[in-house]
Structures are given as C-alpha cells and as structure tokens.
Amino acid sequence: MTATVRYADTVEGLELPPASFPLARVDLVRYAGASGDFNVIHWNERIATSVGLPNVIAHGMLTMAEAIRVVTDWIGDPGALVQYGVRFTRPVIVPDDDAGAMLEVSAKVTELLDDNCVKIVITASSEGQTVRGKAQAIVRLA
Amino acid sequence: MLNADFIGRAYPPSSPYFVSREKIREFARAIGERNPVFVDRDAARALGYADIIAPPTFATVVAMESSQTVMFDPELGLDFSRVVHAEQSYSYARPICAGDELIVSSTIENIRVVAGNDMLTTKASIDTVSGEHVLTTTSVLVSRGVQTP
C-alpha cells in the first residue's frame, strides 16, 4: 500500500508521462452500463441536441476516470491517491463516426506538501481545447 | 428553480452496497484500465491489499443509488435531461476493495443560482457497514436554465 515513486526524488515542475484516450460512442454505452449513469445526453443525439448540446457528450465521470490514470500509473499504487477533484468546464463531444473523440491528458507536479504528499495538476483537452477548468490530485509518495 | 429549502437536507443512509470483484473488473474495463491491481487478486495482494481494489472513480457506482434518490426527489425539482455534471471531487481514506460492504450518506450542501442555472452541491460519506470511513465524495450538478427563444 505504498507508492513506488519516492518523495525525495520528486521536484516541483516534474511532468508525468502523458496519455491519449480515444472515445467512441460504444465507449459511452459501455460506461453507461458499467456505471449505471444512463443520462440520455450521453447516448441519444436526438435528446442531446434538443436540450441545446451540439451532439452527444461523454460522461464527465468517464473522462475523469481516464485522466487520473496518468497519475495512478505513475505512482504505482493507486491507493496512494489522497484527493482527486475536477471541474468540467467544456464537454467532450463524441460524434457518431468512426473516429469519435480523443482525450489528451498531461499532468505535472506543482507543489510538494507535508507528509510525503505532492499536488499534481492534470490538464485534459479534446480537439485542442481544454475540457477542464481545474483538475488536481494529491498523492502520498514513498 | 430548485427548492432552496433543501439546503442542509440529509438523506437516510443507503442500503449496503456489496463490492464484488466482477463489478470492479467490469468498471475497470469500461474505463479502459490496464493496471492489474484492479483485476488481478495476486497483483493487488503484492501491493498489500486483501483483494482487488477499485479505480478511484468507482465510488460513483457505489453512490449511484443515493445520488439518484437526491436527483429524482420530486420535491427538489431537478430536470434530469438538463443536468450537466459541473464538478466532482473525492477525498480518500483508503481505496475501495472487493468484499467491502458500503453505506452512502448523502447531504445537500448547497443550492444556488449562477447565471440563470441552478447549481446543486451534494456531499456523501461512504463508510463500511462496521463504520470505517472509506471516502467522501462531493459533486456539483448544474441544471441549465431553459432558454427563451
């Protein structure tokens, strides 16, 4: 139950390995089933556009789940995550085509805290625009 | 408009949610996880856990029943088709682990109107049936106001 990354080896500004996550309609349907969130705006274009959205949008929670993988893969033990919070400022639009959408995630250590903890700011973007106002995690390192 | 009298309202604790290995694996697959600690018991044990652990956002599955009780409370007046998830945060005492039996206790923290949109903040404590605190989840939902043409 300990991270594999050592606090002593970590500096402010350290960039974590980035990752990209493709999102197609089938991924939204699978996530709806696994999570129990069947809000129609995540799978029904007719309803999504009728409430003023440009198209079906990804579950914010799905993008949140993918984004933290950049952090949990880095720390080794996902149980070393102490806090994780995001603000969903712009939805990820998932068109009904073969390409779908792409979520690009990067993360950086921004602050060394007490008790072997560090603060990490996570940036997520799609179509070149950030989809998060604020996404940050606190992890406890070894 | 949401019923502002609901600020501070605490909902009764949910019925216990039993965390199964297969539900964790299904959720891990749905978010594209490849970390073995979420699917393979030996990998989880190697990190010191009794069984596989759940990905950080799995709490949304556990809290679903309780959050739907809040969202679909007719007296609260939330239009589900207009709801967008605005903020979400988790504070962990430890990861959720297969075999946990969890109780969710939700409270409405705040209701406010921002730029014509209703914003609802709910907080839930997720604890084991024996009273061990596992995590706290806070979410902000926005019900987008109806635009007049």
pLDDT of residue B148: 43
pLDDT of residue B105: 97
With bands split at pLDDT 50, 70 and 90, how would you rate the model's confidence at A1? low
Residues from chain B that touch A34, judged by Cβ atoms under 8 A, are 26-27, 29-31, 61
Structure tokens at B121: 């903040």
pLDDT of residue B149: 36
Inter-chain CB proximity B81 and A47 less than 8 Å: yes
Inter-chain CB proximity B83 and A39 less than 8 Å: yes
Using one digit for the tens of pLDDT, what is the confidence trace for B83-95? Answer: 888 999 999 999 9
- Closest residue on chain B to A71 (Cα): B56
CA B118, A37, A53, A45 dihedral sign is: negative
**Poorest-confidence range of A3-12, A124-133, B64-73, B88-97?**
A124-133
Span A92-121, mean pLDDT?
96
With bands split at pLDDT 50, 70 and 90, how would you rate the model's confidence at A35? very high
Span A27-54, mean pLDDT?
94
Inter-chain CB proximity A39 and B55 less than 8 Å: no
Inter-chain CB proximity B37 and A91 less than 8 Å: no
pTM for the full predicted model: 0.93
Contact status of B149 with chain A (Cβ, < 8 Å): no
Contact status of A36 with chain B (Cβ, < 8 Å): yes
Angle A32-A62-B31 (CA atoms, 0-180°, nearest 5)? 85
pLDDT of residue A89: 87
Does pLDDT of A7 surpass 90? Answer: yes
Q: How many CB atoms lie within 10 A of CB A5?
A: 20
Contact A20, A103 (CB under 8 A): yes
Residues of chain B with pLDDT under 50: 148-149
Span A103-120, mean pLDDT?
97
Inter-chain CB proximity B87 and A88 less than 8 Å: yes
CA Rg, chain A, in Å?
17
- Closest residue on chain B to A26 (Cα): B30
If we measure between CA atoms, which residue out of B11, B14, B35 comes closest to residue B24?
Answer: B35
Domains of chain B with bracketed CATH: 4-19+57-143 (3.10.129.10)
pLDDT of residue B141: 92
Contact B80, B71 (CB under 8 A): yes
Give me the DSSP letters along A43-89.
T-HHHHHHTT-SS-B--HHHHHHHHTHHHHHHHS-GGGEEEEEEEE-
Domain A7-22+59-140 is of which CATH architecture?
A: Roll (3.10)
pLDDT of residue B147: 53
Does pLDDT of A108 surpass 70? Answer: yes
Contact B107, B122 (CB under 8 A): yes
